[in-house]
Structure 1
Amino acid sequence: MLEQCGVSGKLHLVDGYLGIIVIVAVVALLAVGGLFLFFRPKGKGAPTLEAPPRPQAPAGEQPQAPDLGEQQGAATTTLPPPPAEELVKAPEIEVPPPSAGRMVRLRSRLARSQSALGKGLLELLSRDRLDDEVWDEIEETLITADVGVAPTRAIVEDLRTKVKVLGTRTPTEVRGMLREELLAQIAPELDRTIKTRPTGERPAVVLVVGVNGTGKTTTTGKLARALVGDGNKVVLGAADTFRAAAADQLQTWGDRVGAAVVRGPEGGDPASVAFDAVARGIDDKVDTVIVDTAGRLHTKTGLMDELGKVKRVIEKKAVVDEVLLVLDATTGQNGMRQAQVFAEVVNITGIALTKLDGTAKGGIVISVQRELGVPVKLVGLGEGPDDLAPFDPEVFVDALLGD
Structure 2
Amino acid sequence: MGRKKSAAGTSAQVASLAGVSQSTVSMILNHKSNVSFSKETIEKVETAARKLNYVLPQKRVRSRKKGERLLVVFCPNLTNPYYVMLLQGIESRAREQGFGLFVCNTQRDLKMEERYLRMVRSLKPQGVIYTCNPGSGFLGAVERLSREIPIAIINNQNEKMKVDAVELDNAKLGRIMARHLLKLGHHQVAYIAPPLTLRQKQRSKRVEGFLAEYEKAGWKEGVTVKAAKEEADRKMPDIDSEYQIGYQLTKELLAEKEKVTAIVGLNDMIAFGILDALYEAKIKVPQEVSVMGCDNTLFARMSKVDLTTIEHFVVFKGRDACDIIMKKMESHYRETSQPEPISTYHVEYEPRLIVRGTTANAYTGKKNKH
TM-score when normalising by structure 1: 0.20
Higher RCO by CA contacts (8 Å cutoff, separation 6 or greater) = 1
Computing the radius of gyration over CA atoms, which structure comes out larger, 1 or 2? 1
TM-score when normalising by structure 2: 0.22
More strand by share: 2
